[in-house]
A and B are shown apart, each in its own frame.
Chain A
C-alpha cells in the first residue's frame, strides 16, 4: 500500500501512509487509539474507499472496490468489532457470502461439515447449528477467525483478535498464525498487547496521527522504544498500583447462584480496594458482574450494598445504590452509537443534570468535556457521534460515562480492552485516584499481568465457582492459571 490518504468529515485519518507486507511474515501494525490502523486495513479489505494512493498485490497495482473483490484476491480480514449476524447459526455465519451449493441452493450439510472442520482445526468446540447471538464474545471471536480461514488466503488481517480471548484460545490462535505463515500467508496483526507483539511478530510498523512513523524488524527494537514511537513521548509501561489501606465494606455477595453459570459465589469488597476477577472463558465472570449490576437476576443468594440488601429489580436500583457496570461489549451494551459523545457521557448523570425534566446543556457539556480531557478521548468535538470514534476511544467514553456519574462501586468488565499502552497507564492511574477517594473497583480481566499488577485481591472463578481467593502481592501467573483451570494449587 502506497501513499494512502483518507479523510472523514473533520479528521484526516490517514495522511499518505505506506505499508509493505511480505509473504510468510507476521507484520505488526502499532499505534495509539485513533492512529488510523483500522482505517488502513478497511481500505485494504474493500470496506472503505480510499481518497488517494495505490494498492499493489504481488507487485501489480490492483483496485479493490468492495469486500467481494478483496476476498477474491485472497485478502481476509477479522475486523476489530465483531461482524456476525446474531440470528444465523455458526455455520451460516462462517459460510456467509460463500455458501456451498449450486444454482442458488445452499448445501447445508456441506456447510455444517466445513464449519465443524474449521472450528476443529482452531481447537474450539462450538455447535455449528447454534445461533451466533447465543455465544459469548470469545466464542464469537473464534467464529470470526474460522470465517476468515476460507479458501486460499494470501493476506490475513487481524484487527485486535485477542482482545476478547483468554489464554487458551490465544494459544490456539497463535498456533494457527504459525501454520499460516509457514504456508506463505502474510499476516497483518494489530494489537495493543505488547507481549504478543514480541512473541509472534517479525516486523512492525508504527503509525501515529495517520502517518507512518517507522517499519523495523521486531528483533531490532525494544518494547519501550515502540511505546515511545507510538505515543511520541516517554511512557512508563507498567502497573502503577498504589495500594491504599482498605476502608469499610461496600459490597458483599452471599451465595450467588444462577442456573448453569454461577454456583454459590461469595466475596466482599471494601472501599479503596481493587478486587481482580480472573478465570477462563465461560467461567462466569461476566455473569457475576451482570448479576451484581442488576442486569440479570440470581436464582439464589443476595447482594448487600453497604450492609443493606440490594433489591435487584433492574440496573436502575443498582445505579441508585452506587453500583455501575462497564460491560464487556461496548457496542451493544455500553454505548448509544448514534448519539454524540456528550450525550453518551451524560446519560447516567441526567437525573442530576436536569431541572424539571429539562437538561442543563451547559452542565452537560462541562461534564463531558472534563471526561474527554481527563481520559484524553480523541474526538473532533463533543458533538461527534460515538459510532465514528476509533475502538479504543469508544471504550474510553464508556469509562467516562460512569466516572462522570460518580458511583461508589465500579464493576469493570475488561476495562482496558482495545486501549493503547499509554491510555492503559492513564486508566490505571485513574483507578488509583478512584480508590484513593474511597471508591471500590471490581475488575474482570483476561490479561493476567493486569490482574496481578492492579488488584489488591484476586478472585479466581472456574466453572461458575470461586476456585481461589488470593492476595495479589506475591501471587504468580501460574497460581492464578492453575486455579482457573480447576487444579488444586
Chain B
C-alpha cells in the first residue's frame, strides 16, 4: 500500500472516528439515542440526503457542482405522484419520476458541456426552473394520498431493516463499484483531476461530464420516491436546501471541492454524521435555531480539520 493510500485511509478513519465519537457522546447524554428504533430512525432519515449526496459526489469529483438537486426532488416527486393519481401502475410512475430527474440532469450537463456554462450557473438556473415547474404543475398544492403498496417504499421492512436503508446501501455499493472499478468512474476522477490532460488522452470528456449530471438528477428522482412515500404526499416546495446538505455530506466525507479526489464511502459517513447530529440535537431538545449554528460549525470544522492535515503534510 502506498503512502498516499494510507493517508487517504487515515482521513476516512478520522471521519469514521468522528461519527463514533459523536455517537458515544450522545449515548452518554441521553438514554434515547442508543436504541434500535432510534438508530433505524436515524438511518431512515439520513437515507434521502445520502442518496442525493451520491450524485453530488460524482458531480464534485468531476470538478463541478449541482445546486438543482433539491428542486429536482420536488419536481420528480410531483410528477410521480400525479402519475399515480392518474392511475398509472407503480413501476410506471416511478420510472416517470426517475426520468424527470435524469432528464433535467441531462439538461444541466448539456448546458455545462455544450453551452460551456459554469456548473454553478447552469444548475442555479435549473434550481429555479425546476422549482417553478413543480409549482406550476401542481398549482402550488401538494399531491397526497397513495396506496399502501407505494408507501411501503418508505415504511416497508425487510428483516427489520427499513426499505430506504436498503435502497441507500444498494446505491452506495453500486456507486462504489462504478467509481473504483469501471472506466466511467476512472474518467470522472480523471476529468476532475485534469480535464485538459484527459481530453488529450482521448477521454470523451463532454459525454462523461454530461452523464455525471444526469446521474445526479436520477438519484434525486430516487430520493423523491422515498420522500413522497414517507410523507404520503408530494409537495412542490419539498427539498428546499437539500443541495446544501448533500454538498455538506460530500465535503465532510473528504471529497475535494476542486475535484478529482474523494470516495463515496466518505460521503456515506458524512451523511450519517449530519443525520446523527440532527437526531441527537432533537433528542436533547435543543432549539432549531441553535441546531443550525451547531451544524454549520460542524461542517466548517470538518473541512478545516482536513485542510490543516494537508498543510501539515506540505510543511
- Tell me whether B186 and A106 are in contact (CB under 8 A): yes
Please tell me if A352 contacts chain B, counting CB pairs below 8 Å: no
Residues of chain A with a CB closer than 8 A to B190's CB: 85, 88, 92, 96
A99-B183, A296-B315 known; A67 vs B193 contact (CB < 8 Å): no
Residue B196 lies at the interface, judged by CB distance under 8 Å to chain A: yes
| Chain B interface bracket (under 10, 10 to 19, 20 to 34, 35 or more) | 20 to 34
Measured between beta carbons, the chain A residues less than 8 angstroms from B203 are: 96-97
Identify which of residues 121-152 in chain B touch chain A, using a CB-to-CB cut-off of 8 Å: none
Contact A83–B4 (Cβ < 8 Å)? no
Chain B residues 253-283 with CB under 8 Å of chain A are: 260-261
Which A residues are in CB contact (< 8 Å) with B103?
Answer: none
The chain A residues found within 8 Å of chain B, CB to CB, are 45, 47, 66-68, 71, 79, 83-89, 92, 96-99, 101, 104-106, 108, 127, 129-131, 134, 147, 296-297
Query: In the complex, what's the smallest C-beta–C-beta distance from A355 to chain B, in angstroms?
Result: 33
Residue of A nearest to B178 (CB): A104
The answer to whether A85 touches B197 (Cβ under 8 A) is: yes
> A83 is contacted by which of B5, B197, B261 (Cβ under 8 Å)?
B197
Say whether B4 contacts A131, CB under 8 Å: yes
> Would you call B37 an interface residue if the criterion is a C-beta within 8 Å of the partner chain's C-beta atoms?
no
CA distance A148 to B199 in the complex (A): 15
- Do A104 and B198 have beta carbons less than 8 Å apart? no
B4 near A67 with CB under 8 A, answer no
A to B CB contacts below 8 Å, 27 in the list: A67-B201, A68-B204, A83-B194, A83-B196, A83-B197, A83-B200, A84-B194, A84-B197, A85-B189, A85-B190, A86-B194, A87-B189, A87-B193, A87-B260, A87-B261, A88-B193, A96-B190, A97-B201, A97-B202, A97-B203, A99-B183, A104-B184, A105-B181, A129-B2, A130-B4, A147-B201, A297-B315
Q: A85-B193, A99-B186 are in contact. List 7 more A-B contacts (CB 8 A).
A: A67-B199, A68-B204, A85-B189, A86-B193, A96-B198, A98-B202, A297-B315
- For the complex, give the distance between the alpha carbons of A256 and B203 in Å: 45
**Contact flags (1/0) for B150-191 with A, using CB distance below 8 Å?**
000000000000000000000000000000011110100110
Which residues of A have CB within 8 Å of B4? 130-131, 134
With CB as the reference atom, state the residue of chain B lying closest to A83.
B197
Q: Which residues of A contact B5 (CB under 8 A)?
A: 129
Are A106 and B183 neighbours in the complex by a CB distance under 8 Å?
Answer: yes
| Bound CA–CA A12/B184 (angstroms) | 39
Q: Which residues of B contact A297 (CB under 8 A)?
A: 315
The one of B2, B181, B197, B260 that contacts A106, using a Cβ cutoff of 8 Å: B181
* Min distance, Cβ B197 to any Cβ of chain A, angstroms: 4
B198 contacts across to A, CB distance below 8 A: 85, 96-97
Residues in chain B near residue A87, CB distance under 8 A:
189, 193, 260-261
Of all chain A residues, which has the CB nearest B197?
A83
Q: Which of B182, B194, B196, B200 contacts A105 (CB 8 A)?
A: B182
The residues of A that contact B194 with a CB separation of less than 8 Å are: 83-86
Smallest beta-carbon distance A139→chain B, Å: 14
The minimal Cβ–Cβ distance linking B43 to chain A, given in whole angstroms, is 30
A86 and B200 CA atoms in complex are apart in Å by 15
B256 (CB) vs chain A CBs: closest residue: A87
Measured CA separation A365–B16 after assembly (Å): 54
The chain A residue with its CB closest to the CB of B5 is A129
CA distance A129 to B6 in the complex (A): 12
- Cβ contacts under 8 Å, A105 to chain B: 181-183
Which B222-255 residues have a C-beta within 8 angstroms of A? none
Residues of A with C-beta under 8 A to B186 = 88, 92, 96, 99, 106
Central interface residue in B3, B196, B197, by most chain A CB within 10 Å: B197
- Docked pose: A68 CA to B204 CA in angstroms: 9
Max chain B Cβ within 10 angstroms of own Cβ: one of A47, A101, A131: A131
Residue in chain B with minimal CB distance to A85: B193
Least CB distance, A136 to chain B, in whole angstroms: 15
- Contact: B200 with A67, CB < 8 Å? yes
The interface residues of chain B lying within 8 Å CB-to-CB of A92 are 186, 190
Give the complex CA separation of A105 and B2 in angstroms: 23
| Closest-CB distance, B163 to chain A (whole angstroms) | 29
Per the 8 Å Cβ criterion, residues 1-58 of B in contact with A are 2-5
Asked if residues B183 and A104 are in contact (CB atoms below 8 Å), the reply is yes
Contact B202 A68 (CB under 8 A): yes
Nearest first, the 10 A-B pairs at minimum CB distance are A97-B202, A85-B193, A97-B201, A68-B202, A83-B197, A96-B201, A85-B194, A87-B260, A87-B193, A67-B202
CA A105 to CA B198, docked complex, whole Å: 18
B1 CB to nearest A CB, Å: 8
CA distance A405 to B203 in the complex (A): 42
| A214 CB to nearest chain B CB (Å) | 30
A478 to B198, alpha carbons, bound, how many Å? 42
Q: In whole angstroms, what is the CA distance A159 to B50 when docked?
A: 47
Q: Closest approach, in angstroms, between the C-beta of B72 and any C-beta of chain A?
A: 26
Chain B residue with minimal CB distance to A134? B4
B308 to chain A, nearest CB (A): 16
User: How far is the CB of B59 from the nearest CB of chain A, in Å?
Assistant: 17
Q: Which residues of B sit under 8 angstroms from A85, Cβ to Cβ?
A: 189-190, 193-194, 197-198, 260
CB proximity of B279 to chain A, nearest CB, Å? 34
Complex Cα distance, B177 from A106, in Å, reads 11
Q: What is the CA–CA distance of A129 and B200 in the complex, to the nearest angstrom? A: 22
User: Whole-angstrom distance from the CB of A360 to the nearest CB of chain B?
Assistant: 33
CB distance from A123 to the nearest CB of B (A): 22
Give the most central of A79, A83, A85, A134: most B CB within 10 Å: A85
Please report the C-alpha to C-alpha distance between residue A58 and residue B193 in the assembled complex, in whole angstroms. Answer: 37
When distances are taken between beta carbons in the complex, the residues of chain B under 8 Å from A71 are: 202
Closest chain B residue to A130 by CB distance? B2
Residues of B within 8 A of A79 (CB): 200
**Most A-side CB within 10 Å, residue of B189, B199, B201, B260:** B201
Complex contacts, B189 vs chain A, CB 8 Å: 85, 87-88
User: A111 to nearest B CB, angstroms?
Assistant: 10
What chain A residues lie within 8 Å of B204 (beta carbons)?
A: 68
Q: Which residue of A lies closest to B259 (CB)?
A: A87
